[in-house]
Amino acid sequence: MDRHASFFSLVGVLFNSIQFRYGTLSPFSTDNPIITVFFVAVLIHVVGSACEAKLEAAHFKSIAARSSFLARILALVLLITILYPKIGCLVFFSRVLLFIWVAYTLREELLQLYESLYNAAVQVLGGLYNAVLQAYASLYTAFIEADAGHGMTDAEPNGSPV
């Protein structure tokens, strides 16, 4: 939880710096798209951290932790971009390279996640298919037995003697 405290402390410091630098102008009026993406990044960070705390599978935890890390870095870089546009662009470019590196290292875990989800879906659909076949077979058997129990033949369609 220390990373949450440090992250939100940095966010508070950067927001206060933005307020001090721009005075009466609000970042919402001058940099609305950046602020919107910032809030989305913070939301992804919070959801990723919650998923990381709740998940039990190691590869799911790793994906959630890295996603949260990338969102946290993106949020801070966006605030730095508002404060110092030239430095922010340089930092943003370096974070894009970091994102590419993290995505490259996650490819094996994402592939494993895809395979496990695919296998789970095949297993569920296979079980559903088998259940439908068994239900059909039991209904068909019950229908044949009920039909044979009435003593009906092809010559007696109504069940009355000829």
pLDDT band at 30 (very low <50, low <70, confident <90, very high): low
Query: Is 145 part of a structural domain of the chain?
Result: no
* pLDDT at res. 79: 80
Angle of helix 58-83 relative to helix 2-22, nearest 10 degrees?
20
* pLDDT at res. 144: 84
Query: Is 99 part of a structural domain of the chain?
Result: yes
pLDDT at 153 over 60: no
Contacts of 52 (CB under 8 A, 6+ apart): 61, 64, 65, 68
Number of domains in the chain: 1
Query: Is 46 part of a structural domain of the chain?
Result: yes
Query: Is 117 part of a structural domain of the chain?
Result: no
Lowest mean pLDDT among 20-29, 64-73, 111-120: 20-29
Cα 65 to Cα 71: distance, rounded to the nearest angstrom: 10
Q: Which residue has the higher pLDDT, 133 or 55?
A: 133
Left (φ > 0), alpha (ψ -120 to 50) or beta: where does 153 sit?
A: beta
Cα 110 to Cα 97: distance, rounded to the nearest angstrom: 19
Cα 3 to Cα 72: distance, rounded to the nearest angstrom: 10
Other beta carbons within 10 angstroms of residue 66's beta carbon come to 18
Query: Is 29 part of a structural domain of the chain?
Result: yes
Tokens of 11: 């966010």
Query: Is 144 part of a structural domain of the chain?
Result: no
What residues make up the domain containing 80? 2-106
User: What is the pTM assigned to this prediction?
Assistant: 0.54
Query: Is 120 part of a structural domain of the chain?
Result: no
Query: Is 127 part of a structural domain of the chain?
Result: no
